[in-house]
A = this chain, B = another copy of it.
């Protein structure tokens, strides 16, 4: 096994102290008054033997790990995995590595993960937080760690965050159904007090209020058994057979809903108009194509990572926390086309 090259080897080879080498490698050559000749000598040699500083040693000495963690509900969900992909790209260019984890929206799991990451001395936390971890997050902030929230916030937490205007786009989505002639519009959503969900519900209600109709709301348990959820949705649609459109507040629910609708042999949109929160790249290929709310993945990722890098660079630490609200886009497709009757 090859022995690892260390800075001491270079010092010996070049007969220069390791202090000097460290200065040069960290770009402090000029500042520390290291001669040009020494600098090039060092840099050339380092390149030649392709030396790489030991990361653990650097981390130990500086207290920084150049590592950011990102905790989301489910990293395999297309919304989150696309965000992850976009952030990774930007972070990598800045020398940072992102660690991903799925919380399943489970409070205890999230708490455990935060402990795990603290132990690993990650520098920053990007979180789509589950409920009930306000305290843990505030602890992070108290300990001067960089925290950025996205997708949702928690009350009582002062942290930079990036959100989508859930209320506005939900309102527009339901309004769109109404304008296309749908009247008895149901909402299928999760049991959840989380702000992104309550805002979506508020948007739905506001639009339904405008036509003075009643709400048809079905709540589904979060990570329950999918098969029974399909059953539940199916029963709900079947019992409320005056419903002529459904607004699904997550794509996960829409997936189950589409199965329920298929089981009931209902036609989309003749029997039931459909709008889904969160687009999927296959929705535009369905027959009929599915109308969906597309969150601006690229923008969200950029804002989040920019805020994070700013915090990590030390700027903005003492500044007032920013809350960025981005608009989403309603991708109108065939599943919500104007009613013909």
Instruction: List residues of chain A with CB under 8 Å of any chain B CB.
Output: 1-2, 52-60, 65, 74-76, 78, 81-82, 84-85, 88, 92, 97, 99-102, 115-116, 118-121, 142-144, 255, 258-259, 262, 280-282, 284-287
- Taking CB as reference atom, which chain B residue is nearest A258? B285
B143 near A2 with CB under 8 A, answer yes
* Copies of this protein in the complex: 2
Contacts of A74 in B (CB 8 A): 85
**Closest CB of chain B to A140's CB: distance in Å?**
11
B52 near A60 with CB under 8 A, answer no
26 contacts between A and B (CB under 8 A): A1-B143, A1-B144, A2-B143, A52-B115, A52-B118, A52-B119, A54-B121, A55-B59, A55-B120, A57-B60, A59-B60, A75-B84, A75-B85, A75-B88, A76-B81, A76-B82, A78-B81, A88-B100, A88-B101, A92-B101, A99-B99, A255-B281, A280-B282, A282-B286, A285-B286, A286-B286
Contacts of A56 in B (CB 8 A): 56-60, 65, 121
Contacts of A84 in B (CB 8 A): 75-76, 100
Contacts of A58 in B (CB 8 A): 56
A54 to B92, CA, bound (A): 24
A287 near B285 with CB under 8 A, answer no
A142 to B1, CA, bound (A): 7
**Closest CB of chain B to A138's CB: distance in Å?**
13
Contacts of A115 in B (CB 8 A): 52
**Closest CB of chain B to A6's CB: distance in Å?**
11
Contacts of A144 in B (CB 8 A): 1
Q: Taking A1-B144, A2-B142, A76-B85 as given, write out 14 further A-B residue pairs in contact, using a Cβ cutoff of 8 Å, ordered by the A residue number.
A: A54-B60, A55-B65, A56-B60, A56-B65, A56-B121, A60-B60, A75-B81, A78-B78, A78-B81, A84-B100, A88-B100, A97-B116, A255-B282, A259-B284
A104 to B65, CA, bound (A): 26
- Taking CB as reference atom, which chain B residue is nearest A113? B92
A2 to B285, CA, bound (A): 54
**Closest CB of chain B to A173's CB: distance in Å?**
20
Task: Find the residue from A56, A81, A99, A255 having the highest chain B CB count within 10 A.
Answer: A56
Contacts of A287 in B (CB 8 A): 286-287
**Closest CB of chain B to A47's CB: distance in Å?**
13
Q: Which of B55, B88, B99 contacts A119 (CB 8 A)?
A: B55
A285 to B56, CA, bound (A): 49
List of 6 A-B pairs having minimum Cβ-Cβ separation, nearest first: A56-B59, A56-B60, A76-B85, A52-B119, A81-B81, A76-B81
A54 to B118, CA, bound (A): 9
- Taking CB as reference atom, which chain B residue is nearest A122? B55
A97 near B97 with CB under 8 A, answer no
A75 to B75, CA, bound (A): 10
